[in-house]
Structure 1
Amino acid sequence: MSGSSVIMRAGCAIVVAAAALASPAAAEESVEGFSVSGAMRLRYEAIDGQARVGFNKSDDLVNLRTNVQAQYRKADIMVAVELYDSRVWGDRAGTPVSTNEVNALEPVQAYVTGTLRDLLGDGSKVTITAGRMMLNLGSRRLVAADDYRNTTNGYTGLKVDLSAAGGWKGSFIYTLPQIRSPDDLSDVRSAKVKLDKESFDLVLWGGQLSRAKVIGPATVELTYFHLGERDAPGRPTRDRSLDTFGGRVMLEPRPGQFDYEIEGFFQTGSVSISASPTAAHQRVAANFIHADAGFTFPGGWTPRLSIEYDRATGDKPGGKFGRFDTLFGMRRADLAPAGLYNALARTNIETVGVRFEAKPGQRIDWFAAYRPMWLAAREDSFSSTGVRDATGRSGDFAGHQLEGRIRYWFVPKRLQFEFDGVLLSKGRFLQDAPNATAGRWTRYASFNLLAIF
């Protein structure tokens, strides 16, 4: 079946479903504590002048992600199951397709949640969740359920959320991150149904503690996560043992006021120099910082203008391993879309950005951002492109990126259109490095239709 035929059929199905569900009678209902909800997202994306190494210079792809969740709630107890089905069409040899795009009929969530009230004093609340779950913690730069990507991240284990008097909040986890299956590329391309795995060969634990109004009206947050990884049968790894410490200070945007956010992480531990079972270990010393400051103008559009700075270290010759590992963090909110573009990640990058965003009405919002980009370590590969010059002679300027997004609700809270576009003008490094891809320009666009039921 051709990609255009898939788009037409899936798009018609989404529109018809959303229209049928748009009436109040079709809104999500709950019968004796039981409810069902879900979403379908259809995406067509195309790229020309691919910046990443090893893939087609020009490509396009059709993505369809469907998720359905069933919940049962009684008093302070809730049981939930959520099924994700992520597939693509139109891929060919050289198309970057992996379990980031395909994960068929996967029960990403299957958990039970219980809430204890006044355990830590009047007004306190402790919520305990056990099972398979999705996580979005803090800024989502380390632990997240990626939303732009066609598949998401799942975690199996235990999560404890607490809130107490004085503005205290916390989230603490002990989880086994789900390793998406299947492993074989041909099985991925054919969307073979195979349950994702979790084991004690990959463990993530730690948490975040925050308090509101610590520095004036600003919130302060402290973070620690440990990632432990080791080889498993048929799955060689870099044997990562990473401790990531960090903190964040944040003042939320408000009309007519300045706002800011500063977050930094330091990463230590050890990692193997390759996935070989006999590879030597290397000590880790990496770091990341994000800072932004903005002003939200008063008025119906609530436009916000902000300046952003991001720096994640790369690996330099000799000494400790310096490439920052963002663990399971999202990238779309700070850097750029994933999908066929996927050129920017929170590693070996330094960039300053200017962003303007606005919401002209209840149905529409948009933003535009510009950023020049450099390598934090010129001997390492730039971000997630795979482009590298081990001699460092290609310089450290990666290029200029201009991106934008517009979203419009055809049917409020039921049917949404989204367009994402990126224009990358490659700098000296992305043109002159020994394995750089051909051409000066990278152009990327995606058209998305989301139906919620």
Structure 2
Amino acid sequence: MTRSTLLVSLAAALLPATAHAEDGKLDISLELRARLEPIGGQFRPSPAPHNDQALLLRTALFAEYDAGPFRIGGEVVDARAYLEKRRSSAGTTEIDALEPIQAYVATDLSDVAMAKAGRFVLNLGSRRLIARNNFRNTINAFTGIQGVFGDARLGATAFWTVAQTRLPTHVDGLRDNRIELDRERGSPHLFGVFTHAKTAVGTLEAYGYRLAENDSRDILTRNRHLWTVGARLVRAPAANAWDYELEAAGQGGHARASARATDVADRPVHAGFVHATVGRTLPGAWKPRIALLADYATGERSGRSITRFDTLFGARVFEFGPTSLFGAVQRANLVSVELLGEVKPDARSDALLAIRPLFLASATDSFATTNVADPTGNAGTHAGTQIEARYRRFLVPDTLRVSVGGAYLAKGRFLRDAANAPTTGDTIYGFVELTATL
């Protein structure tokens, strides 16, 4: 019996306890997900294969027991990949076999205060900087302490954690879906405060985060010591109404240009990003919504300072399209707008279509996550145009959902002519996904 089969069997044995728990103190949930995705016309430089595919499987078993003054919780996630090529871009963001990402103790200090200690996940604000990953196969997790104060109208979250390092990192272990427990190696530390308040014009958020990392015995880093300070104002979409969002963050501190052992020079950091959205939900049974989005994130420029924005532990699929084998766009060296259309044909389904022209903030830096770069700047700043489409439907309400979608990247001059750009033509990516939640 494989460990995945054992995990499912254990969940099946435990699930009836939820339904029959008289005091309601035991909460157990199980998610099973399978996604098949191919990509052609790779945008990443060699050695990434021109064409690739992957079958991604994720099983997540969560349990929390309320023991009165304390709650004890845990979650095991089994994330695996099959069918991918050996030189595939699939790595630790897709593969983390049989990992206990959560193991915590929490207590309510009062009606408006909660404390938690142990391993846990974080999901803050817009999720652009700190998030529990959804589309991505593996999930960011942390070890430390957390305090939550206030309520939905006015509150704050304070935390001090160490990010878990996902293992294995070597190719053989990844391709074999080898089980190797993640670990806290004393770095990177992530701590900070996030606040929110409901106002007449929308929800106002403000935050300050500190990331501090150092080399360990077996892992070299860029020794990032970063402060990220930002604010966000958002009004959620509503029927026959305008919605909007504005978020901006600045980043300072110091880091090194690379993780090489010979690079010991700390350089000042001056970076930032801005996001804006304005949208409107129109009348109609399908609840159509049209939105215009704009994004700017700094890239590396000549000089002593590091000016490329660091996205920390953020998510991006909700804004920049599918990640995994695709994921060309992120909040780094980016100037872009997007026209987005969304519909909800019925209570079980939704669909979207988006088109996004892509440009570089700095012609001499690599574009977003592509690793394509032209140090001379002669390839210009037009990266291309991305078109994204997705349809989701619950086959069984709140239990079984199917999703299909894809993205097309029409490469611009930069992704065609940059010094290390692959000659693979435009990129096309698709996926079909089935998720069961019990």
Which TM-score bucket, shorter chain as reference? over 0.9
Instruction: State the distance in 2 between where 1:440 and 1:190 align.
Output: 31
- After superposition, the C-alpha distances for 1:243-264 in whole angstroms (9 at most, x for unaligned) are 0010001111111111100000
One of 227, 234, 256 as aligned partner of 1:250: 234
Residue of structure 1 in register with 2:312 after alignment: 327
Contact map agreement 2:49 2:85 (CA 8 A) in 1? no
- How many Å apart are 1:31 and its aligned residue? 4.9
Residue of structure 1 in register with 2:196 after alignment: 210
- After superposition, the C-alpha distances for 1:147-175 in whole angstroms (9 at most, x for unaligned) are 1111111111111111159x311111101
- 1:266 is the counterpart of 2:250: yes
Contact map agreement 1:236 1:276 (CA 8 A) in 2? yes
One of 349, 354, 358 as aligned partner of 1:369: 354
Instruction: State the distance in 2 between where 1:320 and 1:368 align.
Output: 38
- Give the TM-score of the pair, scaled to structure 2: 0.93
Where structure 1 has 5 or more consecutive residues not aligned to the other structure, the ranges are: 1-9, 15-19, 119-124
One of 424, 433, 438 as aligned partner of 1:439: 424
Against the structure 1 CA distance between its residues 366 and 28, is the aligned structure 2 distance closer, same or farther, given a 3 Å change threshold? farther
- 1:339 is the counterpart of 2:324: yes
- AA paired with 1:194? E
- How many Å apart are 1:199 and its aligned residue? 3.0
Instruction: State the distance in 2 between where 1:300 and 1:74 align.
Output: 46
Contact map agreement 1:29 1:35 (CA 8 A) in 2? no
Contact map agreement 1:42 1:63 (CA 8 A) in 2? yes
- How many Å apart are 1:114 and its aligned residue? 1.1
Contact map agreement 2:163 2:187 (CA 8 A) in 1? no
Residue of structure 1 in register with 2:149 after alignment: 162
Matched residue count: 428
1:421-436 equivalent positions in 2, closer than 5 A = 421-436=406-421
- How many Å apart are 1:76 and its aligned residue? 5.7
SS in 2 for 1:333: helix
One of 406, 410, 417 as aligned partner of 2:402: 417
Alpha-carbon RMSD across the aligned residues, in angstroms, is: 2.2
Residue of structure 1 in register with 2:286 after alignment: 301
- How many Å apart are 1:35 and its aligned residue? 2.8
SS in 2 for 1:139: coil
Contact map agreement 1:49 1:58 (CA 8 A) in 2? yes
SS in 2 for 1:191: coil
Residue of structure 2 in register with 1:85 after alignment: 78
Against the structure 1 CA distance between its residues 173 and 400, is the aligned structure 2 distance closer, same or farther, given a 3 Å change threshold? same
Instruction: State the distance in 1 between where 2:73 and 2:16 align.
Output: 23
Determine what percentage of the aligned residue pairs are the same residue.
37
One of 109, 126, 147 as aligned partner of 2:134: 147
- How many Å apart are 1:52 and its aligned residue? 1.4
Contact map agreement 1:398 1:427 (CA 8 A) in 2? yes
- AA paired with 2:227? D
Contact map agreement 2:53 2:85 (CA 8 A) in 1? no
Residue of structure 1 in register with 2:43 after alignment: 51
- AA paired with 2:72? V
- AA paired with 1:420? G
Instruction: State the distance in 2 between where 1:303 and 1:436 align.
Output: 38
- 1:126 is the counterpart of 2:113: yes
Contact map agreement 1:99 1:180 (CA 8 A) in 2? yes
Where structure 2 has 5 or more consecutive residues not aligned to the other structure, the ranges are: none
Instruction: State the distance in 2 between where 1:244 and 1:84 align.
Output: 29
Instruction: State the distance in 2 between where 1:36 and 1:221 align.
Output: 32
- How many Å apart are 1:25 and its aligned residue? 8.5
- Give the TM-score of the pair, scaled to structure 1: 0.90
SS in 2 for 1:187: helix
